[in-house]
Structure 1
Amino acid sequence: MRKIVVILIGVAFFFASCGEYQEIKKSTNAEFKLKKAIEYFNSQDYAKTLDLLDDVRPLYRGRTQAPTIEYYYAYSLYEQKRYLDAGNYFNQIVRLYPKSPYVEECLYMKAFCYYKGTPMVLLDQTPTKDAIQAFETYIKRYPNSSRNDDAKEYISKLYDKLVKKSYLNAKSYYDREYYDSAIIALNNSIKEYPESGYREEILFMLLESRYQLAKNSIPSKKRDRYNKAKEEYLSFAEEFPDSKYVSKAKRMNNNINEYLGTE
């Protein structure tokens, strides 16, 4: 019986709340609506906050309250995990209200929202590059900010995501034995990210791709391609003499030397 009473009270409260909200929505008093929107924000009801702010935003455009309204609007989107939308609204505050006291915080939140909204590694990483640029802009503009250590850490994580994307893209060609394409992609990855944590593996894949391409070439192309594979071996062996791939690399080099007639 007690459980039924509790449920009925809950239902009654729900409908009362809905009725109260509908009365607020019908109000033509913009100041009252703005006050209630902030109350809903403070009670973490972000959907109602956004709904009410949508009603009053046009009425306050160009007035002193406008930056505050946009500030609550952006944070409501953020709390709903609509990170890219939130980032764009934080950016809008920076652009439209450059003298607002919210500018520094909003510039940082723009970058952080872009960071939170970055896609999975296998997808297009343009948003990741945008997030890096946004953090770098913040650090440059506020070099003494207490947020900069966090910003630098996020940049490092974003950079790692770009490196991994580049590595996986190149490796996919290697795994499918598309050695021509693998050589191009692996070289591009090394040039773009020379300090990559995948460098050893990439250089080994580059060696094997050169070797396999030479091995399976028509006779007229073999010597030139084996010479290029030899160059890859020498570079790899010099940089990683104790590599876990050293045995495989030496076997390939022996076969290369046998074909080229060298020691």
Structure 2
Amino acid sequence: MFFKHLKIGFLLALAAATLASCSNYQKILKSDDTAAKYNAADSLYQAGKYKKALKLMEQIVPAYRGKPQAERLMYIYANTFYNLEDYYLAGYQFERFATSYPQSDSVEVASYRSARSYYELSPRFSLDQEDTRLGLEKLQGFINNYPNSEYRIEANSLVNELRGKLEKKDYEIAMQYLNIAEYLNSYVPAIEAFENFIVDHPGSEYRKAVFYGRLEAGYKRAITGVPSELQERLLTAKGFYNSFDKYYKNDTSEYKTKADEILQEINARLVVEEEVEESTR
């Protein structure tokens, strides 16, 4: 019974302390005392109570511009957004901090977290990749500005991840153009998408598939197009095969087997075209 009363007493005391704390917070929140708000925001921030700290910071950030406390306030303000996973505002505020305080001891961390925030905004590969490209740009900028940073290895890893996402997105787009080429009544978009991929992603894991895809699209463009352009387009497709063979001559994958089959068909059709030309002379 004694311990039961002791437990109840402890809980009541805890509740009373919580109410007093909330009451004090509301009092500070409604006051005009910027110093009290700064101290309370700092304490709440250090205690990990970011939502409460943020409400106070939002009230005093304008008042502290140009003052000695502004540097720390702006840093913890940005980091509060980061800890709350509001990466749009975190990226913006960290970038703003780095611009405003380039000599700060925290500028490297701020620059990294700004870039990292844009990385966090990158969606899965099937969605629009504007934020992925921005994240890649910001991370690469950080690596260039801080080549010896302790965050360099992690930043490089994030760059590779975002590049992989863009590669997959661009590959899926090219393949989609190939798959709907008959519906579009044109293989040109597929060929252009494959060629852009080859230029933009020279070391990609999809490179072999892309070289083959361009060959397939080029060949199908030739045989489904107007007869008067068949020979020229077959020669273009043969050029695509030669590019594939240059890199994958000794390859044993299905892509190489299919590419060789297409080459045989191209050569056979070119022979027929030459015979037709001979007969009409």
Q: Output the TM-score relative to the length of structure 2.
A: 0.84
**1:125-204 alignment to 2 at 5 Å?**
125-177=129-181, 178-204=186-212
- Deviation string for 1:123-170 (max 9, x for gaps)? 333332332332233233333222212122222222222222221221
Correspondence 1:259 to 2:263: no
1:40 equivalent in structure 2: 44
SS of the residue 1:245 aligns to: helix
SS of the residue 2:254 aligns to: coil
2:258 equivalent in structure 1: 248
- Alpha-carbon offset, residue 9 of structure 1: 8.4
- Alpha-carbon offset, residue 238 of structure 1: 3.1
**Gaps spanning 5+ residues in structure 2: where?**
1-7, 273-281
Structure 1 CA distance for aligned equivalents of residues 120 and 114 of structure 2: 10
Correspondence 1:73 to 2:80: no
- Deviation string for 1:63-109 (max 9, x for gaps)? 01111111111111111111121011001011112222221211111
**1:85-124 alignment to 2 at 5 Å?**
85-124=89-128
SS of the residue 1:146 aligns to: coil
Correspondence 1:54 to 2:58: yes
Q: Indicate the RMSD between aligned Cα atoms, in angstroms.
A: 2.5
Structure 2 CA distance for aligned equivalents of residues 170 and 37 of structure 1: 51
Structure 2 CA distance for aligned equivalents of residues 44 and 22 of structure 1: 18
Structure 2 CA distance for aligned equivalents of residues 13 and 175 of structure 1: 66
Q: Output the TM-score relative to the length of structure 1.
A: 0.89
SS of the residue 1:195 aligns to: coil
- Aligned CA distance change for structure 1 residues 253 and 143 (closer, same or farther; 3 Å): closer
Aligned partner of 1:206 among 214, 217, 230: 214
Farther off after superposition, 8-17 or 67-76: 8-17
Farther off after superposition, 166-175 or 198-207: 166-175
- Alpha-carbon offset, residue 12 of structure 1: 6.7
SS of the residue 2:103 aligns to: coil
**Gaps spanning 5+ residues in structure 1: where?**
none
Number of residue-to-residue matches in the alignment: 262
Identical residues among aligned pairs (%):
34
- Aligned CA distance change for structure 1 residues 9 and 202 (closer, same or farther; 3 Å): farther
